[in-house]
Amino acid sequence: MAKQPKDTVRHDDADLDDLEEDLDELDDDELAATDDDPDLEQPATLAWRRRTGAEMLVSGVLGLLAAFQLSIDAWLLAEDPDRNLACNISKVISCGTVANSWQAKLLHFPNAFLGILFESVVLTVSLALISGVVFPRWFMRGVQALYTVALFFALWLFLQAYFVIHALCPWCLFITFTTVLVFAGLTRINLRDGHVPSTPAIRRFIVTPTYWYIAVAVCAIIAAMILGKYGTSLID
């Protein structure tokens, strides 16, 4: 049997490398439209993973900055509970009122410290995803569980402020919005990579931009609740 020329072998290897690079540059929704992986059962493409990681990173950085500001306010109020904070804008928009409530110290220390913890995990995972790191399933499930707790905690605190405390903290609201967005991105990756069980239809849906409309809708509902209840009294 005749041997294949070395030049041909090198050429075939180069073509294979080029094909793999082309696939990595495809978004997952584009890949689903091909015959290669219509049900998206293979790992996510590098381009899609990096973009989702970048989206999480932006929200995580903003959330971390807000958590730091809340931590500073907590220290100031620990020295003087009657201190007038810069975000005490009105009777409704009042960081001090929220921060001095028992809900803001559910575990007997400022909730902002938990925010720093949660957002630090998000930043670590986001940067790793952008760098091309693929975490094991047990790790990603653990992160998903941790941030699910963070989401419910943020929504619980919002509902407490809305229905019980009758005052809103702008930094807390900002963290609520960023938590929703980060949770959406994290869940998107875990569903896509099979860390969280899903169906082909769900995987095809989450890789499309339409998926983000769910997170935007949640944020819009929160904003509508605030405007509907308080209106112009937010700044009076």
Q: What is the pLDDT of residues 64-79, one digit of tens each?
A: 999 999 999 999 998 8
Q: Is the pLDDT of residue 20 over 60?
A: no
Q: Within 26-110, where are the H helices? A: 28-32, 46-79, 95-99
Provide mean pLDDT across the span 94-103: 91
As a whole number of angstroms, the distance between CA 160 and CA 30 comes to: 43
**Count of domains observed in the chain:** 1
What pLDDT shows up at residue 16? 46
Range of the domain at 61: 44-234
Provide mean pLDDT across the span 132-140: 92
Q: Is the pLDDT of residue 210 over 90?
A: no
Q: Is residue 35 part of a domain?
A: no
* High-pLDDT (> 90) share of the chain, %: 54
Q: Is the pLDDT of residue 31 over 90?
A: no
Q: Is the pLDDT of residue 46 over 90?
A: no
On whether the pTM is more than 0.85, the answer is: no
Long-range contacts of 159-162 (CB under 8 A, 24+ apart): 160/101, 160/103, 161/98, 161/103, 162/225, 162/226, 162/229
Q: Is residue 221 part of a domain?
A: yes
Question: Structure tokens of 70?
Answer: 């809340």
Residue 93 gets which letter from DSSP?
B
CATH number at residue 95: 1.20.1440.130
191 in Cβ contact with 206 (< 8 Å): yes
Q: Which amino acid is at 140?
A: M
What pLDDT shows up at residue 140? 94
What pLDDT shows up at residue 9? 43
What pLDDT shows up at residue 29? 52
Q: Is residue 102 part of a domain?
A: yes
Question: Structure tokens of 76?
Answer: 């100031």
Q: Is the pLDDT of residue 58 over 60?
A: yes
As a whole number of angstroms, the distance between CA 121 and CA 142 comes to: 11
